[in-house]
């Protein structure tokens, strides 16, 4: 029996032939019948371009409905879809093509010359283009091909995609995701978030990342729902889409930006049944403010490239601000001592390394067997690199990345704890706490703050406000003010940049 994820999608798509699949503000729409046809045409085009089952298809294109159809085509003919961040430069692309050895590279029309050169240097045999208007040589070559008949047989363990991790701490690694990983996770999410064919998802995320590609599109396909497909997040377009949208999947910055708009009211969101947040921590303040303004409690969930989604706040029941909820059905979690190699669970309520196991967990890093062995343990648990705690009600609290932990004078300082206290101060919008080299303490706790316009908060005030709220070793040694925190496209604060920027401040301490 085949376990190609596209088998499942195609059954749903057949049943919903006349229904909307992708709707765009520009009216470039596809119903499910058109999407099925186009996936067969593009699958045949991939084969004609020399792609065989198991071959990688690297894709760096701007967001468009056709890019999703290309993903479906790739699944359909047994290829391995490999989306690349649209922000990567030509030299970064060179690394990915060299590492993944794709049979085909699909690039933007205006990047063709550079792409041809990189392909020649890395031995990639074919390059085609795909533009945002359904244009490009991929589409030209698809004209007149005989559509791919059927769906390639795939095992549960066969690769469906490789997604490179963002690589903030060294070389970006290719996470190998199987048909089984993607299928099980999207089935579970569609169920626990109660997706039905009447849903219309407002899709404003990028589609080179697990959130916008797998969480969003796979859940829609699993449930035969439709999506309002926006080229990027824009407050006006998202607000317009809420009139007949039912779900928004967002990163926290979507919500902070929506909150700045006076049109955000219970009336505006009356048709919406669900707002989810992930990819970066949603502050309890944002969660509460959104609930006050709209009546909707944002449902926060937690996942990563390597594991798909692991935990979610409940659909029914309390969605608790500042927590990522409970393990999804079929997913096991344990909290272990990051300093020991035993991987034994530690006492309930203690902070430690979050490890996860389940059908959602990837099969390893592409061509990095040692990295894989270090992080994907023999018993099937994956060491996430996130520090977390499980409270008495079973809700999981992520306290930060292991690598962001600050060790000052031998004591562990969890940045989130300090950030929460700072964020409560009047005039503070948000903060990031990092550890930077300090001659006495090893690392000095350092806070970087964004203030509300016109707020006159000064370093000494912050330090004195914290002095009776936090133990001495947790208090920042220095406080800096910036206009905005450096963030990546998924809204994650780039703490490595901050560490770099402030690395010499204690040199003379
Ligand atoms: P990525 O592989 O780019 O999806 O990044 C995964 C990482 O994002 C996780 O390991 C977490 O550190 C972080 N992350 C994802 N969702 C959340 C969340 N709801 N709260 C806090 N951190 C999150």
286 Cβ closer than 6 Å to some ligand 1 atom: no
CB–CB of 425/396 below 8 Å?
A: no
Q: Report the distance separating Cα 223 and Cα 169, nearest Å.
A: 37
Residue appearing with tokens 């229904």: 19
CA 301 to chain CA mean position, Å: 11
**What pairs with residue 437 in β-bridges?**
443
Confidence band of 29 (pLDDT split at 50, 70, 90): very high
Q: Put the strands of the sheet holding 226-229 in their side by side order.
A: 30-31, 20-23, 226-229, 200-203, 247-250, 274-277, 299-304, 308-312, 326-327
pLDDT in tens, 286-330: 999 999 999 999 999 999 999 999 999 999 999 999 999 999 999
384 Cβ closer than 6 Å to some ligand 1 atom: yes
- Helix (H), strand (E), coil (C) string for 332-389: EEEEECCCCCCCCECCCCCCEEEEEECCCCCCCECCCHHHHHHHECCCCCEEEEEEEE
305 Cβ closer than 6 Å to some ligand 1 atom: yes
Helix (H, G, I), strand (E, B) or coil at 456: coil
CA of 492 to the centre of ligand 1 (A): 8
Residue nearest to atom 21 of ligand 1 (CA): 281
Q: Which atom of ligand 1 is nearest to the CA of 306?
A: 2
Asked if pLDDT for residue 434 goes beyond 60, the answer is yes
Helix (H, G, I), strand (E, B) or coil at 406: strand
CB–CB of 380/361 below 8 Å?
A: yes
Q: Is the dihedral of CA 403, 407, 408, 414 positive or negative?
A: positive
pLDDT in tens, 115-165: 999 999 999 999 999 999 999 999 999 999 999 999 999 999 999 999 999
Closest by CA position to 197, among listed 4, 315, 21? 21
For 90, the token pair is 């030509």
The Cβ of residue 53 has, within 10 Å, a number of other Cβ atoms equal to 15
CA distances to 152, 167, 254 from 413, rounded to whole Å, are 51, 24, 29
Average pLDDT of span 461-486: 94
DSSP letter for each residue of 34-71: HHHHHHHHHHHHHHHTT--TT-EEEEE----HHHHHHH
For 200, the token pair is 């219309």
Asked if pLDDT for residue 490 goes beyond 90, the answer is no
Average pLDDT, the chain: 96
Q: Which atom of ligand 1 is nearest to the CA of 305?
A: 2
Q: Report the distance separating Cα 103 and Cα 113, nearest Å.
A: 18
Q: Report the distance separating Cα 371 and Cα 350, nearest Å.
A: 27
Closest by CA position to 64, among listed 203, 237, 161, 179? 203
324 Cβ closer than 6 Å to some ligand 1 atom: yes
Asked if pLDDT for residue 169 goes beyond 60, the answer is no
Angle at 168 between CA 164 and CA 171, to 5 degrees: 55
Q: Report the distance separating Cα 138 and Cα 155, nearest Å.
A: 28
pLDDT in tens, 182-202: 999 999 999 999 999 999 999
pLDDT in tens, 378-399: 999 999 999 999 999 999 999 9
pLDDT attached to residue 339: 87
401 Cβ closer than 6 Å to some ligand 1 atom: yes
Q: Report the distance separating Cα 388 and Cα 89, nearest Å.
A: 34
Best of 398, 487, 495 for a ligand 1 pocket test (most atoms within 8 Å of beta carbon): 398
Asked if pLDDT for residue 410 goes beyond 90, the answer is no
Q: What is the CA radius of gyration of the chain?
A: 23
pLDDT in tens, 239-295: 999 999 999 999 999 999 999 999 999 999 999 999 999 998 998 989 999 999 999
Asked if pLDDT for residue 409 goes beyond 70, the answer is yes
In angstroms, how far apart are the furthest CA atoms of the chain? 73
CA distances to 39, 91, 150, 185 from 158, rounded to whole Å, are 20, 30, 18, 16
Q: Report the distance separating Cα 96 and Cα 24, nearest Å.
A: 31
386 Cβ closer than 6 Å to some ligand 1 atom: yes
280 Cβ closer than 6 Å to some ligand 1 atom: yes
Asked if pLDDT for residue 103 goes beyond 70, the answer is yes
Q: Report the distance separating Cα 417 and Cα 387, nearest Å.
A: 12
382 Cβ closer than 6 Å to some ligand 1 atom: no
Average pLDDT of span 209-238: 98
CA of 10 to the centre of ligand 1 (A): 30
Q: Report the distance separating Cα 264 and Cα 433, nearest Å.
A: 30
């Amino acid at each position: 029996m085949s376990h190609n994820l596209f088998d499942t999608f195609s059954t749903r798509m057949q049943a919903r032939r006349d229904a909307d699949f992708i709707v765009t503000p520009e009216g470039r729409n596809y119903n499910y019948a058109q999407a099925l046809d186009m996936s067969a045409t593009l699958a045949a085009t991939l084969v004609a371009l020399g792609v065989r089952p198991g071959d990688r298809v690297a894709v760096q294109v701007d967001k468009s409905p056709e890019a999703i159809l290309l993903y479906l085509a790739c699944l359909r003919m047994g290829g391995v879809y490999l989306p690349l961040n649209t922000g990567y430069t030509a030299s970064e692309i060179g690394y990915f093509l060299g590492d993944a050895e794709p049979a085909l590279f699909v690039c933007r029309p205006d990047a063709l010359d550079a792409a041809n050169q990189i392909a020649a240097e890395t031995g990639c045999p074919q390059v085609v283009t795909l533009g945002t208007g359904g244009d490009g040589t991929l589409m030209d070559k698809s004209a007149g091909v005989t559509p791919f008949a059927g769906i390639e047989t795939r095992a549960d363990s066969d690769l469906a995609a490789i997604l490179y991790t963002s690589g903030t701490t060294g070389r970006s690694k290719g996470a190998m995701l199987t048909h089984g990983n993607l299928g099980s996770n999207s089935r579970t999410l569609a169920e626990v978030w109660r997706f039905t064919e009447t849903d219309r998802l407002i899709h404003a995320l990028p589609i080179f990342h697990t959130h916008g590609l797998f969480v969003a599109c796979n859940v829609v396909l699993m449930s035969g729902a439709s999506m309002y497909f926006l080229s990027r997040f824009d407050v006006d377009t998202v607000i317009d889409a809420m009139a007949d949208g039912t779900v928004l999947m967002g990163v926290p910055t979507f919500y902070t930006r929506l909150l700045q708009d006076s049109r955000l009211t219970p009336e505006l969101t009356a048709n919406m049944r669900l707002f989810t947040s992930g990819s970066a921590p949603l502050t309890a303040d944002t969660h509460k403010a959104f609930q006050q303004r709209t009546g909707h409690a944002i449902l926060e969930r937690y996942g990563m490239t390597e594991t798909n989604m692991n935990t979610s706040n409940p659909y029914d029941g309390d969605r608790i601000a500042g927590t990522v909820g409970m393990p999804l059905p079929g997913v096991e979690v344990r909290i272990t001592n990051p300093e020991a190699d035993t991987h034994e669970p530690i006492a309930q309520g203690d902070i430690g390394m979050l490890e996860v196991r389940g059908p959602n967990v990837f099969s390893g890093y592409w061509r990095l067997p040692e990295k894989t062995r270090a992080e994907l343990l023999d018993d099937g648990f994956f060491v996430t690199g996130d520090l977390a705690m499980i409270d008495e009600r079973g809700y999981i609290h992520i306290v930060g990345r292991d690598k962001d932990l600050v060790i000052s004078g031998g004591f562990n300082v969890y940045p989130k704890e300090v950030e929460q206290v700072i964020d409560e101060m009047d005039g503070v919008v948000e903060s990031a706490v990092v550890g930077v080299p300090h001659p006495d303490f090893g690392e000095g706790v350092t806070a970087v703050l964004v203030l509300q316009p016109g707020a006159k908060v000064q370093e000494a005030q912050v330090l004195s406000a914290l002095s009776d709220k936090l133990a001495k070793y947790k208090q920042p040694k220095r406080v800096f003010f910036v206009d905005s925190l450096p963030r990546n496209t998924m809204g994650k604060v780039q703490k490595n940049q901050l560490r770099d920027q402030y690395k010499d401040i204690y040199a003379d301490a």
